[in-house]
């Protein structure tokens, strides 16, 4: 038997089947990421992409659709026409109604034999996850394959478990890749490197030295034509249950024994299971729910949430959530974690802010006693960076302190280009690396923690507080931190 070449081992052959191949996610994220991997020489030469959707197109007309809708979302320099042409040659299109299991036999004919590992990416609504997986099984296409499930995986704990149970009857756990693209961001990877590759921070990464931690994922955009979907979901399900709790678990986790998938995910799971439940009256004290009204974003007037297409009249769906969270374990007991996410806010930003405690006594004046004088800011978007804030003496006479910053901007320090989150994650799926994907028990623990909040909102009539578009959310979100003698980072000045 001929041994595979090192290149074939590094970049194994594959057939990447993209359900929802005409959708927004495919055009904005998935196909641009696959193009970038192709351009960088990270895909096997015989790797194929088969896009699947209900729209009646042939491959030629689909490729023209791809030309129009994918190219604008490819970051970086100008697209090389020859590279783009060779990328298009990988792509085929199959028109298929996912609700008709017998149609999947034609997909099997298109895939044929060979071409390495089959990867089924379900960039569809969660209602189609189980029917697609069952139809793939009926057509004999699941043996040795992998399936990628996009969020949201269900509407609550019960529906999430129902999907996981049904998919788990067809695919083994190590074949299931539950994707959270925040875990693929360069700055999140660098958070792991910062914590576990340097002795400098580990002694400080605990309750004795950390005052509080903030996690913010803010968007300027509204629901962008997805009113029907978003009105059934809301910010708690769309962002907190997955992205923010995953980021929290990485910040708070213990050092894993190795970077193997289960070693990392075991430690994240321990954090999720250590989250202090938020119950009853404490929900009113520790959780802020908001909904954007009309306002201005960068001098452009935008409408209120209830005026968005697809949103129900009188909808109480939240577009903003802020929470105080506690991790009940030895390392973090008593340290508040403040989580915040929302749409139509004053800026597009995703960052983690670790506020270290001030010195216990200062001979240099009150500046050294201010909370937040020493902090670590990990910026996830728009520009990935790490900033360490400290105090230094101002030049001149006297001993006057001033805040200074040590910055690591990845795009300036490293000469090679950044790998986008989806590109990294898709390459991990092809290679069979699971560390950056969510295991079922992690997902279940996150749903279990948010469940009492969801139930309280549904039964107690806790209406969202209004906030003007272009602000940082309801005033109650600032009051939440003020009760703990702190504030959101942008409010300090």
Binding positions for substrate are: 181, 185, 219, 238, 343
Q: Can you say which residues are annotated as belonging to the binding site? A: 151, 181, 185, 219, 238, 343
Q: How many other CB atoms are found less than 10 A from the CB of residue 100?
A: 11
Q: Give me the half-sphere count of Cα atoms (radius 13 Å) on the Cβ side of residue 50.
A: 21
Integer Cα distance of 64 and 62 in angstroms: 5
Q: Is 30 helix (H, G, I), strand (E, B) or coil?
A: helix
With b for 16 or more beta-carbon neighbours within 10 A and e for fewer, the 365-387 pattern comes to eeeeeebbbbbbbbbbbeebbbb
| C-alpha 346: how far from chain center | 20
Which residue do the tokens 């100008």 mark?
A: 78
Q: How many CB atoms lie within 10 A of CB 489?
A: 17
CA atoms within 13 A on the CB side of 62: 26
CB atoms < 10 A from the CB of 418, how many? 17
- For 49, phi then psi, to 5°, come to -125, 120
Q: What are the E-state strand segments in 298-374?
A: 300-302, 320-326, 336-342, 349-356
CA dihedral 110, 16, 24, 176 (to 10 degrees): 120
306 is catalytic: no
Annotation: binding site for NADP(+): 151
> Measuring CA to CA, how many Å separate 44 from each of 32, 366, 489?
17, 60, 45
Interhelix angle 440-460/261-274, rounded to 10 degrees, is 30
CA count, 13 A, side-chain hemisphere, 445: 20
CA atoms within 13 A on the CB side of 231: 17
Contacts 24+ apart (CB under 8 A), 136-140: 136/104, 136/170, 137/170, 138/101, 138/104, 139/101, 139/104, 139/105, 139/107, 139/108, 140/108
Catalytic residue (one of 11, 243, 293, 306): 243
- φ, ψ for residue 430 (rounded to 5)? -60, -40
Please state, in angstroms and rounded to a whole number, the distance separating the CA atoms of residues 9 and 16. 17
Pairing of strands 320-326, 336-342: antiparallel
Are the C-beta atoms of residues 356 and 204 closer than 8 Å to each other?
A: yes
Mind telling me the catalytic residues? 243
């Amino acid at each position: 038997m001929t041994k595979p070449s090192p290149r074939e081992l590094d970049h194994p052959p594959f057939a990447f089947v993209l359900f929802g191949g005409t959708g927004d996610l495919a055009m904005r994220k998935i196909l641009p990421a696959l193009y970038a991997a192709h351009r960088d020489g990270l895909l096997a030469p015989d790797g194929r992409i088969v896009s699947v959707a209900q729209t009646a197109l042939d491959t030629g007309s689909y490729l023209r659709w791809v030309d129009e809708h994918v190219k604008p979302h490819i970051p970086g320099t100008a697209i090389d026409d020859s590279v783009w042409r060779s990328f298009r040659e990988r792509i085929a299109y199959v028109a298929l109604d996912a609700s008709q299991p017998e149609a999947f036999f034609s997909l099997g004919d298109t895939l044929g034999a060979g071409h390495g590992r089959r990867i089924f990416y379900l960039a569809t609504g969660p209602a189609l996850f189980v029917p697609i997986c069952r139809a793939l099984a009926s057509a004999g296409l699941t043996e040795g394959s992998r399936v990628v499930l996009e969020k949201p995986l269900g509407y609550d704990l019960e529906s999430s478990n129902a999907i996981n149970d049904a998919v788990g009857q067809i695919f083994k756990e190590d074949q299931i890749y539950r994707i959270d693209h925040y875990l693929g961001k360069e700055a999140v990877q660098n958070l792991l490197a910062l914590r576990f590759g340097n002795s400098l921070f580990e002694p400080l990464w605990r309750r004795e030295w950390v005052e509080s931690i903030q996690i913010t994922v803010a968007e300027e955009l509204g629901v962008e034509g997805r009113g029907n979907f978003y009105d059934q979901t809301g910010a708690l399900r769309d962002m907190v249950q997955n992205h923010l709790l995953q980021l929290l678990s990485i910040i708070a986790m213990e050092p894993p024994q190795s970077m193997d998938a289960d070693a990392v995910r075991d430690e994240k799971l321990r954090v999720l299971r250590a989250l202090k439940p938020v119950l009853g009256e404490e929900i009113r004290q520790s959780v802020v729910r908001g909904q954007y009204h009309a306002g201005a974003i960068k001098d452009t007037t935008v409408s209120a949430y209830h005026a968005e297409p697809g949103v129900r009249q009188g909808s109480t769906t939240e577009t903003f959530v802020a929470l105080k969270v506690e991790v009940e374990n030895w390392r973090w007991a008593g340290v508040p974690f403040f989580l915040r996410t929302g749409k139509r806010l004053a800026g597009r930003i995703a960052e983690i802010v670790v506020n270290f405690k001030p010195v216990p006594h200062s001979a240099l004046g009150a500046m050294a006693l201010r909370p937040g004088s020493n902090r670590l800011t990990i910026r996830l978007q728009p520009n990935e960076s790490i900033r360490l804030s400290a105090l230094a003496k101002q030049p001149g006479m006297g001993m006057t302190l001033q805040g200074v910053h040590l910055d690591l901007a990845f795009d300036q320090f490293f000469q090679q280009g950044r790998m986008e989150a989806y590109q990294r994650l898709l390459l991990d799926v092809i290679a069979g690396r699971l560390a950056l994907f969510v295991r079922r028990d992690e997902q279940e623990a996150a749903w279990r923690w948010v469940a009492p909040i969801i139930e309280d909102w549904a039964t107690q009539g806790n209406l969202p507080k209004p906030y003007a578009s272009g602000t940082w959310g309801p005033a109650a979100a600032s009051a939440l931190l003020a009760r703990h003698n702190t504030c959101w980072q942008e409010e300090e000045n």
